[in-house]
Structure 1
Amino acid sequence: MTAPTDLPAFQQYQLQFTGHIRDPKNIARPARVAANRMRVYREIVYNNLESTLAGCFPVCKKVLGKRLWHKLVRGFFVHHQSHSPLFRQIPEEFLAFLGQATSIADLPPLPGYLNNLAHYEWIELAVSAAEQENDWERINADGDLLAGTPVLAAAMVLLSYDYPVQAISPRFKPEQPLQQAVNLLVFRDADDQVRFIELNALTARLLNLLQAQHLTGSQALEQIAEEIRHPDTETMVEFGRAVLEDLRRQGVIIGVLGN
């Protein structure tokens, strides 16, 4: 591959230079740059990129193994057209690349769980850096969670994965997706620590209702009782009170609306 000849000479040089750094196997180095100097440039740029990705996706790197991991990073470097110039958004760009990696001919087959696992690892960074902050001025931290409208931690995400991402490791690499998706809650607590909680289906639904519809605790629990056709709504609500209190204890619920 060579730079377009209708460009000014300095732009042709820039394209040749950066193209060779990305894809040294297929794009020749500029003739005016010594081979040993070009090698230094290639190694510095690639190692910087690889270390950034390895820092965000350490489990992905371990389960793929050194050879496949570096093939994937190189494939990202060669093929992906980033939409952001910000260095801190490289991991998010890598996720976008994984979403279309199966269509790239020179990449080897990747595990079916990889996209789920990569997103699971990335979300910690995303929640940690989220700009949302708890608005304590409008919250009663000790309010009644059934009568009031529970307020959730501002930096919080509800997730559902087809693979048990929280358990994947070099010793456990699932070959098939789960029959029932795993529900996870990721949130930033009052100490600015990112925490992960695995949820059962009912608790996940409860949090979804509280997040999306701003219901009182009782209203949300009554709606769930109706959805699952529970024969005793009062029992369901009382059971749900304990769930709500536990979520408050863990910092997922930070109080109710009002002072």
Structure 2
Amino acid sequence: MDDFQTVQQQFTEAIRHQTDNPFEQIKPERFAVYSRLIRNNMSNFVSQGFPVLKKLLPEEAFNHLVDRFIADHPASSPYFIDISGEFLAWLNTNPVTDKSHTLPPFLRELAHYEWLETLLLGNEQDEPAATAIAVFSDCEDTLIWSVNAVAAAYQYPVHKISRDFQPQAAPEQPTLLIVYRQENETRFLAVDALAWQLFQTASTLDQPVNHKQLIKQTLQHLTAAEQTQVKPYAEQALMSFYQLGLIVGRL
């Protein structure tokens, strides 16, 4: 490593760990400007990406998380737009503790939910071309799904968490959501296990299918009698997806 790279590394390490200026040739006030600029920029981007989390945590606790993130996380992307994803990656791979404050048990799940909102708002893909479906139950064509919707499962009801609602124990039933973007806003749809599995199956298939094939694929683990009983509810769920724009049409 040459002298310049060594100085670079020492400089960035000092800023990341908020240590004293290690360079005699750099005035302390000038070094402080760089340190403050990095710290404030990172804090602002994390605050924008996780607004609910920031509101719930005491200011000292939130600042502590940001400082640990800056000091400990070797980011894989140099772009500011990816800071939310980098912060979430750090949360998921490091012990989230603070000796001075009790952090909520839903912290990671809430952060993931907020990150999904940011991800969808930043998605620049156009919806695929599709033809409207006149009568959904009669449609034999391949279904075209929105590129602005994702399914997520949580132990905690993250979509309800606020200053006035902060559950300290996970409910018996998981929270199953489909988070989607519509008219430049993110929205969520709380669904039952059947609807969630239909969406998940459609997302993981190697190639698009029509609604009958999708239902068959999703219910294949059930007996014939059970499939007959459940099928109308599956068709109703897919119709709701189409009405909400999660299914944009047919091929």
1:115 is the counterpart of 2:108 = yes
Deviations 1:185-227 (A, max 9, x none): 12233x3433221111111112223333433323433555664
Contact 1:143 1:255 in 2 (8 A): no
Which residue of structure 1 lines up, in the alignment, with residue 243 of structure 2? 249
2: distance between equivalents of 1:103 and 1:52? 19
Structure 2 portions without partners, runs of 5+: none
Distance 2:23 2:89 in 1: 31
Distance 1:95 1:197, change over 3 A: same
Is contact 1:150-1:216 (8 Å) kept? yes
Query: Does 2:102 match 1:92?
Result: no
Normalising to structure 1: TM-score of the pair? 0.83
State the Cα distance separating 1:11 from its structure 2 match: 3.3
Q: Tell me the residue number matched to 2:196.
A: 204
Q: TM-score, normalised by structure 2?
A: 0.85
Letter of the aligned partner of 2:248 in structure 1? I
For 1:16 and 1:232, locate their aligned partners in 2 and report how far apart those are by CA, in whole Å.
65
Residue segments in structure 1 that go unaligned for 5+ positions in a row? 1-5
Secondary structure, aligned partner of 1:140: coil
CA contact (8 A) 2:215 2:231 kept: yes
The one-letter amino acid paired with 1:215 is V
Tell me the amino acid that sits aligned with residue 201 of structure 1: A
Alpha-carbon distance in 2 for matches of 1:204, 1:175: 25
Paired residues for 1:2-13 under 5 Å: 7-8=2-3, 10-13=4-7
Give the Å deviation of 1:232.
6.9
Q: Is the 8 A contact 1:128 1:188 kept in 2?
A: yes
The count of residues paired between Structure 1 and Structure 2 equals: 247
Q: What does the per-residue CA deviation read over 1:13-40, in whole Å, with 9 as the maximum and x for residues that have no partner?
A: 3333222222124x54322222222222
In structure 2, distance between residues paired with 1:18 and 1:48: 15
Which one of 10, 25, 33 corresponds to residue 32 of structure 1? Answer: 25
CA distance in 2, matches of 1:57, 1:77: 16
**For residue 140 of structure 1, what is the amino acid of its counterpart?**
T
CA offset digits 1:43-90 (Å, max 9, x no partner)? 222111100110000111111210010000000011111111111111
Q: Which stretch of the first structure deviates more once superposed, 51-60 or 201-210?
A: 201-210
1:218/1:41 CA distance change after superposition, 3 Å: same
What's the % identity of the aligned pairs?
29
Question: How large is the RMSD of aligned CA atoms in angstroms?
Answer: 2.7
- Does 2:15 match 1:21? yes
Q: CA deviation at 1:242?
A: 3.3
Shift of 1:143: 4.2
Change over 3 Å in CA distance of 1:243–1:170 after alignment to 2: same
Is 2:123 aligned against 1:130?
Answer: yes
**Contact conserved, 2:61 with 2:98, CA < 8 A, in 1?**
no
Cα 1:173–1:232 change in 2 (3 A) is: closer
Q: Where does residue 101 of structure 1 map in the other structure? A: 94
1:154 — aligned with what?
147
